[in-house]
Amino acid sequence: MKAIQIKYLSPTNTKGTRIKAFTADQSYTMGYNSETDIEGNAYEAAQGLIDKMGWSSTIEGYGTLPNGDQVITLTNKWSA
């Protein structure tokens, strides 16, 4: 099973709030969507990474790690 870690990035002097989806070797960062909650943003960021990488997997689950980051699990039907 593949997993995508999701991290909330606080705003800086030059960038707004962002959400970063990443694996050990790939990442995708998007602006925070204030029209949804943190879980919705996590799903959007994960889907962005899936699309960027051209994976055929789908999102299977969602959870939170002890450090506060979210994690999205994917189906086993993924390809790179």
Q: Residue 1 has which token pair?
A: 């099973």
Q: Is 79 domain-assigned? A: no
Q: Is 80 domain-assigned? A: no
Residue 80: band (very low, low, confident or very high) from pLDDT cuts 50, 70, 90 = low
- Dump pLDDT digits (tens) for 12-68: 999 999 999 999 999 999 999 999 999 999 999 999 999 999 988 899 999 999 999
Cβ contact 37:43 at 8 Å: no
Cα-based distances in Å from 54 to 35, 51, 61, 78: 26, 5, 19, 9
Q: Is 46 domain-assigned? A: yes
Q: What domain range includes position 57?
A: 3-74
For 20, phi and psi rounded to 5 degrees?
Answer: -115, 125
Residue 77: band (very low, low, confident or very high) from pLDDT cuts 50, 70, 90 = low
Q: Would you state the pLDDT for residue 79? A: 53
Q: Is 34 domain-assigned? A: yes
Task: Give the integer Cα–Cα distance in Å for 72 and 34.
Answer: 20
Q: Is 22 domain-assigned? A: yes
- Domain count for the chain, please give it: 1
Q: Would you state the pLDDT for residue 2? A: 83
Q: Is 25 domain-assigned? A: yes
Q: Is 40 domain-assigned? A: yes
Instruction: Specify the pTM.
Output: 0.88
